[in-house]
Structure 1
Amino acid sequence: MEKWDQGLGSIGLISLAVILTLLVFIGAPIAASKTNLDLKDWLGFSGSVLGAAMTLGAAIVAWKAVQRQIGVQREATIIGLMTREEGRLEDELQALSACSELMAEATRLREFSPRGYVEHLNRIGYRASDVEMRRAIREAAGDNIPPRWLEQIARASSDLVSTVIVVETFTTYETSPGTPSLFLQVHVPAPEKFRNDLRLKEEEFDKTFALINARRKVIATRLLPKLRGSIEDRLLGTADH
Structure 2
Amino acid sequence: MTQETLIKALLEERQLDLDLPQTFNERHLLYRALVNTRPPGNLSAELLSLEADYLKEVNRDQQVVALTDLEPYKITDNLYLWQGDITTLAVDAIVNAANSQMLGCFVPNHACIDNAIHTQAGMALRQHCQQLMAEQGHLEPTGTAKVTPGFHLPAKAIIHTVGPIIQEEVHPHQIQQLSSCYHSCLKAALDHGLDSIAFCCISTGEFRFPKELAAQIAIKTVRLFQAKHPQLTVIFDVFTDEDLAIYQKALNLV
- Greater Rg, structure 1 or structure 2? 1
Shorter-chain TM-score: what band? under 0.3
TM-score (norm 1): 0.22
TM-score (norm 2): 0.21
Higher helix share: 1
